[in-house]
Amino acid sequence: MDSTTLIAIASIVTAGLTIALGSIGPALGEGRAVATALSSLAQQPDAATTITRTLFVGLAMIESIAIYCFVVSMILIFANPFWNHIIAHAAGK
């Protein structure tokens, strides 16, 4: 197996694993956050605006972890420096 194939396999597998494993944690965290927010809304409906706003800010922070994994995955597929280098090397030959 030459290095081009190896780099391609590693990039594709890693990209898939990154986004697959990277979505589990944020999804679980967001589920817990929303569940807690719903129960506090049920206990104190007066504080609805504060709770909702804090919930959205918290969800965005948790979501950004999944976004990091997504960006790494996109880089591996579409802007892979190792792939570009090996292709330029092979084309130069």
Partner 1 sequence: MHLSPDDIVFWQHGFLKLNATIAYTWGLMLVLAVGSKLVTRNLSTGLARSRWQNLLEIVVTAINGQIAEVGLRQPEKYLGFLGTLFLFVAMASLFTVVPGYEPPTGSLSTTAALAICVFVAVPLYGIEDRGVGGYLRAYLKPTFIMLPFNIISELSRTLALAVRLFGNMMSGTMILAILLTVTPFIFPIAMSALGLLTGMVQAYIFFILATVYIAAATRTRKTTTEVVAEPKPDAEAKHKSEGKVEPEPKPEAKFED
Instruction: Kindly indicate which of the ranges 4-12, 33-41, 53-61, 82-90 contains the residues binding partner 1, using the contact rule CB under 8 A.
Output: 53-61
What DSSP designation does 45 have? G
- What is the DSSP annotation of 70-92? HHHHHHHHHS-HHHHHHHHHHHH
Q: Are 58 and 33 in contact (CB under 8 A)?
A: yes
Among 17, 27, 38, 79, contact with partner 1 (rule: CB under 8 A): 79
Terminal C-alpha separation, the chain: 18
78 lies in the binding site for partner 1 (CB under 8 A): yes
Site string for partner 1, 12-51 (x = CB under 8 A): ----------------------------------xx--x-
How far apart CA 50 and CA 9 sit, in angstroms, is 48
Name the residues that contact partner 1, by CB under 8 A: 46-47, 50, 53, 56-57, 60-61, 63-64, 67-68, 70-71, 74, 77-79
